[in-house]
Amino acid sequence: MRRAARAPGFFHTVRMPSLVPGELPVAGGRERRGRLRRLPLLIAAGLATGAAASVPPRVHAAGPGGDPTGAVPSVVAARADPHSLANLDAFRVRHLDLALDVDFVRQRLSGTVDLEVERLDAAATALVLDSHDLVVREAWWVESGRAVRAVAYSKGAPVPGLGEPLQLAVPPGPAGGRFVVRISYQTSPGAGGLQWLTPAQTAGRVAPFLFSQSQSIYARTWIPLQDSPAVRATFTARVHVPPGLRAVMGASNALATPADGWYRFEMPQPIPSYLMAIAVGRIDYRAIGPRTAVFAEPEVVEAAAREFADTERMIEACERLYGPYRWGRYDLLILPPSFPYGGMENPRLSFVTPTLLAGDRSLVSTIAHELAHSWSGNLVTNARWRDFWLNEGFTTFLERRIVGALYGARRESMEQDLGLQSLRRELGELAPRDQLLAIDLRGRSPEEGVTAVAYEKGRMFLDWVESRLGAAALDRLLREWFEAHAFQSATTEQFREFLLARAEASRPGALDPAQVDEWLYRPGLPAFAVLKTSDVFARVDAQRADWLAGRSGLAQLPASGWSVQEWLHFLDGMPAGLPGARLAELDAQFALNGVRNAEIAFSWLRLAIRAGYEPARPRLEEYLTTIGRRKLIRPLYEELMKSPDGRAFAQAVYAKARPGYHPIAVATLDPIVQGKAAP
């Protein structure tokens, strides 16, 4: 793997922490600021059209390698990835070298990125990158690690949802050749991919915290790069943090505290941009296995180490099924509660919500899920967001296999059933075009593809293949798929071809291509879908029915022996319109307002809102103001907004909670609670 060459001692000439706009990160007075001119805005494109129009630059800028002819070729007419403004056909970023200072006072990252770029198109003289709300200060042509001359650059007009294309003038050169450009930049306080937390928003309440969330298209809010899952790059990074804080990245993490405050990272395997990840805070760690540790604030690190003690066994189970774990270490970072997701599969270091810390390992399927992405997603990556189900459907399938291997078939069946129920609920609300596995997201946000369709319909497609080929044959096929496409991106169509060819070889006639296409390209669930129905919840169903019909009292329910999954099923299956008095009975018997398990509390609170059960309000307010995980709060706000009284309550609570929510959660909730899109 080639890297950007870097002269030793670079950091002696570049004092990153002191950089301010106008100061140049270059050695030896070679800066040619006087000759640097900005190109005019080159690109105006609409998310709605999904195509970038390009205007050739009219400026004769001081491009590297002499004066450009002015004939910059069209940037991109029809983009391979409708969610990137980069000209992926002409250039590929192969390696990044970051040097960033973390400034909690100004809430910004600032520094440089060196991009090592492979040229695909000999004639191309404009390198177009994705950027979103970045402040670019300078751009340089780099040779042997030294900035040798200024590169002319310009920012195009903002494209709603996609950011501003950043265009750099580069000289033509042979296809296959590589060059390095350095961009000096800083982030904006409102960067969508970063959340800056005050001390009060952390467990320890003494130090601030920063974390990134790059999926799907937020890496461009903290690094200028080609922000497409079709592009993979290796990276190295240096991150400077204030005394007493630790920086971690989805990369190799050194445990020693550097005396100079500069943490160093290396990611030798090429990864897509949406897996770029960083966090900074008062972060401690505990080893929990030979290649596994938890990173967390000191206040929660012990609890996390206990909760996730099975992680090494999960890795081994997945390796037995799908081949070796290819990333070296697998660590977990427990974030503060505003983390908007259950988990995020950042390579070598999954980011997870503290709402998994239930005390009884009952919610660890999310760890199985994020770990499984080390094969499905991180090793073989959806080429476009249209192919998101290749990431999430496969991962949900692998997650259930891991859960089955560690916790048995009963637990696996329960999670399958809960997944199917969530899919049924969502299919009832989604437009037909959103019910396809290969979803057309052109002109839309990739977020619109994040539904149970990708996760559970995708998983059910593989269940169906399994019913046709046999479990062992499907596991073998998946293992071969991961091996054949390791460290590559793949499309739905590539998987379709692979699947049909392998199936034909192992069991001729077993898969009907028309049925495969129905799974991929038609809405809803095919009539021939196999529903792995089980009777794991039959007892709970009967017990709920008995209580509802007055045939038994709550004291007779064997609830103390229920698993968390049985509790969820018990509560989720309650009928609409259950009177408040019956909820009072439940609450009196089981102290549901005091339940700390975040999933059970969620099911209870949703039920309480539906029933208008007022005594749950204080707990609901506490829940909504202390948890920022979108899956657990969005449905509660949605439910509240259905009644005038609930609406007033939701708006009052939201006003208090909103400053603590992540920008991604705010963007989702503003339209729901305030009835308007986020600014």
Q: Are strands 126-129 and 262-272 parallel, antiparallel or unpaired?
A: unpaired
Smaller CB distance to ligand BES: residue 194 or 245?
194
Smaller CB distance to Zn ion: residue 140 or 394?
394
Among the listed residues 263, 285, 455, 661, the single catalytic one is 455
CB-based contacts of 595-599 (< 8 A; 24+ apart in sequence): 596/358, 596/359, 597/358, 597/362, 597/363, 597/564, 597/567, 598/355, 598/356, 598/358, 598/363, 598/627, 598/629, 598/632, 599/355, 599/358, 599/363, 599/564, 599/568, 599/632
Closest CA to 331 of 317, 311, 313: 311
Among the listed residues 31, 370, 399, 412, the single catalytic one is 370
Least separation, in Å, of the C-beta of 631 and ligand BES?
A: 5
Helix (H, G, I), strand (E, B) or coil at 451: coil
Least separation, in Å, of the C-beta of 595 and ligand BES?
A: 20
Question: Which pair of structure tokens corresponds to residue 567?
Answer: 């509790």
Of the candidates 306, 442, 496, 631, which one interacts with ligand BES according to CB under 6 A?
Answer: 631
Contacts with ligand BES in 356-385 (CB under 6 A)?
366, 369-370, 373
Q: What span, in angstroms and rounded, lies between the C-alpha atoms of 353 and 665?
A: 14
x/- mask, Zn ion, residues 355-394, rule CB under 5 A, reads: -------------------------------------x--
Cα separations in angstroms, 177 against 2, 61, 116, 145: 12, 23, 10, 17
Smaller CB distance to ligand BES: residue 128 or 344?
344
Is 455 among the residues known to form the active site? yes
Q: What span, in angstroms and rounded, lies between the C-alpha atoms of 37 and 59?
A: 8
Residue 392 near ligand BES by CB under 6 A: yes
The piece of 261-269, 311-319, 343-351, 602-610 that touches ligand BES (CB under 6 A) is 343-351
The piece of 252-260, 335-343, 633-641, 645-653 that touches ligand BES (CB under 6 A) is 335-343
Q: What span, in angstroms and rounded, lies between the C-alpha atoms of 437 and 597?
A: 32
CB-based contacts of 634-640 (< 8 A; 24+ apart in sequence): 634/665, 634/668, 634/669, 634/672, 635/602, 635/606, 636/602, 636/605, 636/606, 636/609, 637/669, 637/672, 637/673, 638/672, 639/606, 639/609, 639/610, 640/609
Number of residues lying near ligand BES (CB under 6 A): 15
Of the candidates 111, 337, 343, 628, which one interacts with ligand BES according to CB under 6 A?
Answer: 343
Least separation, in Å, of the C-beta of 454 and Zn ion?
A: 9
Q: What span, in angstroms and rounded, lies between the C-alpha atoms of 124 and 74?
A: 9
Neighbours of 158 (CB within 10 A): 16
Contacts with Zn ion in 388-447 (CB under 5 A)?
392, 395
Least separation, in Å, of the C-beta of 462 and ligand BES?
A: 15
Smaller CB distance to ligand BES: residue 184 or 395?
395
Q: What span, in angstroms and rounded, lies between the C-alpha atoms of 281 and 265?
A: 16
x/- mask, ligand BES, residues 420-459, rule CB under 6 A, reads: ------------------------------x----x----
Least separation, in Å, of the C-beta of 202 and ligand BES?
A: 20
Residue 227 near ligand BES by CB under 6 A: no
Q: What span, in angstroms and rounded, lies between the C-alpha atoms of 3 and 95?
A: 6
Residue 202 near ligand BES by CB under 6 A: no
Number of residues lying near Zn ion (CB under 5 A): 2
Least separation, in Å, of the C-beta of 369 and Zn ion?
A: 5
Least separation, in Å, of the C-beta of 367 and ligand BES?
A: 9
Q: What span, in angstroms and rounded, lies between the C-alpha atoms of 492 and 390?
A: 7
Residues interacting with ligand BES, by CB under 6 A? 215-216, 341-345, 366, 369-370, 373, 392, 450, 455, 631
Q: Which residues are known to be catalytic?
A: 370, 455
Residues interacting with Zn ion, by CB under 5 A? 392, 395
